[in-house]
């Protein structure tokens, strides 16, 4: 099976690259903007015509949540137009599509984990463009699986875990918000789930949710990072209003994963267990 993976330089794309070595019978093609501009219709059309892909996994996204508020045009091109083109031209060659989306499509005011059928109500430009991307994928290619995730981190790229490790070693005390709740998600676990969907004999189109098990605030997440890594830094819980940002963050981002676990027989790791794995890998990589 020949598989195209876009956004190869991102956290998820890099984790898929690592796991691709476990699938020697599959041919993986990894691209990013330097090798394939997925916002350019002629490029996408020509690239798909020249390659007999059976599956496209779109990991590319404009994830600068605050910057998207002032750069809506670029965010829309990457998060809405590009998925539309990937869906359109994957359908022309008979390829299935797995598209990665976000918890930001919800308003963040729930009190129970969001299911796939709950009403969407994005607050800002990032969430609005990602929702448009979901809708475009489903409209252009019926053979699409959309996987919404949240609070992604990895040994690759820039993320909350790496930021906390750096700041924790530089400062004796940090203030971290405690009134935003979600599920920290290790990108390596999400990558493994995506490939489990890809290899399933029954590819069931639709929207799914995936994050690690358990619930935490950013404050809890930071405490765990320092505890498990042995960094001596005091964490002070603060309200979100003390950190005003251009884009409003969801107060509640917990996702109900029953559908993806049931459909694809997935076992989802607990967030602290996966955080320990990631931190151990970061520590060993520095040796």
Alpha helices in the chain (DSSP H): 11-19, 41-50, 67-70, 72-76, 82-92, 125-140, 160-170, 187-199, 218-229, 258-264, 271-285
Say if CB 174 and CB 167 are below 8 A apart: yes
Catalytic amino acids? 126
Write 106-113 long-range contacts (CB < 8 A, 24+): 106/250, 106/253, 107/250, 108/248, 108/249, 108/250, 108/251, 108/252, 108/253, 109/250, 109/251, 109/252, 110/252, 110/254, 111/252, 112/254, 112/256, 113/254, 113/255, 113/256
């Amino acid at each position: 099976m020949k598989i195209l993976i876009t956004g190869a330089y991102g956290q998820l794309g890099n984790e898929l690259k690592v796991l691709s070595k476990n699938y020697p019978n599959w041919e993986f093609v990894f691209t990013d903007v330097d090798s394939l501009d997925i916002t350019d219709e002629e490029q996408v059309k020509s690239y798909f015509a020249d390659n007999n892909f059976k599956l496209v996994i779109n990991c590319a996204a404009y994830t600068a949540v605050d910057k998207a508020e002032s750069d809506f045009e670029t965010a829309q091109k990457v998060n809405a137009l590009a998925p539309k083109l990937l869906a359109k031209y994957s359908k022309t060659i008979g390829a299935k599509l797995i598209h990665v989306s976000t918890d930001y499509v919800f308003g963040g005011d729930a009190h129970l984990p969001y299911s796939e059928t709950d009403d969407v109500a994005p607050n800002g430009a990032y969430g609005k463009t990602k929702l448009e991307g979901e809708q475009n994928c489903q409209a252009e290619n019926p053979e699409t699986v959309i996987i919404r995730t949240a609070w992604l981190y990895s040994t690759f790229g820039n993320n909350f875990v790496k930021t906390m490790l750096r700041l924790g070693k530089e400062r004796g005390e940090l203030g971290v918000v405690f009134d935003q709740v979600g599920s920290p998600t290790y990108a390596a676990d999400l990558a493994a789930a995506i490939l489990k969907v890809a290899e399933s004999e029954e590819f069931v189109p639709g929207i799914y949710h995936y994050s690690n098990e358990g619930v935490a605030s950013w404050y809890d997440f930071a405490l765990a990072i320092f505890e498990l890594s042995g960094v001596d830094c005091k964490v002070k819980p603060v309200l979100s209003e003390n950190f005003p940002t251009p884009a409003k963050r969801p107060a509640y981002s917990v996702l109900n994963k029953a559908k993806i676990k049931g459909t694809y027989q997935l076992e989802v790791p607990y967030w602290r267990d996966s955080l320990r794995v990631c931190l151990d890998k970061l520590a060993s990589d520095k040796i």
